[in-house]
Amino acid sequence: MIESSGKLITEELVKAGTDPELIERLKKDRITIDKELPPMEFLLKLFDVPCCPRGELVAFTGKAKSGKTFVMSMMMAAASAAEVLAFRRTTFEPLQVLWIDTEQSDQSTQDILRNRLVPMVCGGGDGFPESMYDIFNVRTESWTERMPLLMAAIDLCHPDLVILDGVRDLVDDINNGQLAHEVTERLMKVAQQARCCIVCVIHQNKAAEDRTLRGSIGTELTNKAFEVYECEKLMPSRTFVMTQKLTRKYDIVDSLYFTVDDRGLPRQVGAPQAGLEMTVITADGIARQTGLKAKYLIVHEDGSWEVDYRLLFRDALTNQGELCGGELRDRVMGLCGMKNRFQYGELLEKAKAGGILCMRKAGKKHYYWLAPD
């Protein structure tokens, strides 16, 4: 019936003198119940809720110095490290990241790479997967050249996740409505064609009480972005908070609170309370966010936390000299109440990399046992 209706509409349009080329384009753009479309793919999860889908724009906003670039660092680190604060990668394979910095100096961009991104990914030691990160600083380029350079970088690097910090620098006049519309439309088109998520960082208006995204480009992003997030610095506790403000699909009700430690790295904390500097998150709180049991989480005084891999795999291997991969997986997932095999794969890889597990291969199977302390 739907197909028959479509044919009738086409015939009527042809009779009315409509351009046949336009009719063919309409056919291509027609959405039906049976039309085969690729499922939505989300690159990350925040508090275990999907976010940052391929083929879409995502906006991050806030006042100046409100922690936006800190959040971008977390997202970029999670692309390789699998899990950073409340962000977690949804795919087993690492993500290719493209970071276009239009605001800071070359030295500042490099400082973030060396002293924030690298430690968050691999603890500051060897092993940083530099090939997975393409980072460009185009602050000194003219505004007319930044969009072509961004398009060239996407074409060259084939990224999964694009961080555009900031999108305002793709236009000469932030209140030029026509140009803002053209830039947003072009970003939407390339995100869809390249199957990447483009994260656009933009300031809020300067007035303290005005939280709208700046200028016409901000209005366009508010209307067209799949999700909009807001960053804010809370005083006097010096705590940063990131909150989802708008979404087309999944509501993220929790806000991400974090502070900065002595090394300049973000550490997750709880919401500041009256009369207190901050409340450090608990193992039970992290367990609700990650799906892991509190028993297998270690929370430090500064608010940072980690998985107790040795305890987890020791419990799984209790009364067992060794287990094959499938049996070990079932035991670990059962202990944690875990349903996501990708998440288990990440735990397994980290346990092996940390010297917690030993492995041997026999035929097509892998066998694991607990390494000595």
Q: In angstroms, rounded to a whole number, what is the distance separating the alpha carbons of residues 118 and 122?
A: 6
Asked if residue 256 lies in contact with residue 237, where contact means CB atoms within 8 angstroms, the answer is no
pLDDT tens profile 271-295: 876 544 444 456 666 666 566 777 8
Indicate the residue type of 167: V
pTM: 0.71
Q: What is the pLDDT of residue 11?
A: 63
Nearest to 194 by CA among 163, 157, 165: 157
What are 86's two structure tokens?
A: 């409340």
Asked if residue 82 lies in contact with residue 66, where contact means CB atoms within 8 angstroms, the answer is no
What are 311's two structure tokens?
A: 């305890």
What are 139's two structure tokens?
A: 């602050």
Q: In angstroms, rounded to a whole number, what is the distance separating the alpha carbons of residues 35 and 22?
A: 20
Q: In angstroms, rounded to a whole number, what is the distance separating the alpha carbons of residues 241 and 272?
A: 10
CA dihedral 78, 244, 137, 120 (to 10 degrees): -30
Ranges under pLDDT 50 in the chain: 1-2, 275-280
pLDDT tens profile 53-77: 999 999 999 998 899 999 999 999 9
Q: In angstroms, rounded to a whole number, what is the distance separating the alpha carbons of residues 142 and 365?
A: 57
Q: In angstroms, rounded to a whole number, what is the distance separating the alpha carbons of residues 332 and 240?
A: 34
Q: In angstroms, rounded to a whole number, what is the distance separating the alpha carbons of residues 229 and 72?
A: 12
* Helix residue ranges, H only, the chain: 2-15, 20-29, 68-81, 106-112, 118-122, 143-157, 177-194, 215-224, 283-290, 309-316, 325-336, 341-353
Phi and psi angles of residue 305, each rounded to the nearest 5 degrees, phi first: -150, 165
Average pLDDT over the chain, rounded to whole? 86
Q: What is the pLDDT of residue 276?
A: 44
Residue 52: is it exposed, middle or buried by C-beta count within 10 angstroms (0-12/13-18/19+)?
buried
Q: What is the pLDDT of residue 290?
A: 61
Q: What is the pLDDT of residue 286?
A: 62
Q: What is the pLDDT of residue 278?
A: 45
Decide: helix, strand or coil at residue 6.
helix
Asked if residue 107 lies in contact with residue 70, where contact means CB atoms within 8 angstroms, the answer is no
**Rg of the chain, C-alpha, whole Å:** 24
